[in-house]
Amino acid sequence: MKYYVYIITNQRNTVLYTGVSNHLEQRIFDHKTKRNRGFTFRYHCDKMVYYEEFADINEAIAREKQLKKYRRIWKEDLINQLNPEWNDLTEGWYHPKNIELGLKLNKER
């Protein structure tokens, strides 16, 4: 099994959120469709700009904790090394109608 540590941001790149998941595609879909009403919902974080892959969950969790302690400038340096344009790395993963449907369903609950 693979595990991922990821950083997502909002459209203006003003907020950074670090998370961990064993199903990255589903987890980012949850962010994009605002399924969870926490930090990423409140600050409109749904653009994945960085990720790392791990084979061991304990390593992934340790890395997530490490990144959460990083200053913003250090996180920006990591992102700039992998993704200098800060593009959404999930571009093309989802059909727009699926995002729309997910948003609609989550708004109704």
Specify whether the CB–CB gap between 57 and 3 falls below 8 A. Answer: yes
CATH number of 51's domain: 3.40.1440.10
pLDDT for residue 101: 74
Full residue range of the structural domain in which residue 34 is found: 3-108
pLDDT for residue 108: 64
From first to last of the 109 residues of the chain, give the pLDDT tens digit: 999 999 999 999 999 999 999 999 999 989 998 888 899 999 999 999 999 999 999 999 999 999 999 999 999 999 999 999 999 999 888 766 777 777 777 766 6
State the total domains in the chain. Answer: 1
Q: Number of helices and strands (H, E) in the chain?
A: 5, 3
Q: 53, 48, 77, 73: which is closest to 64 by C-alpha?
A: 53
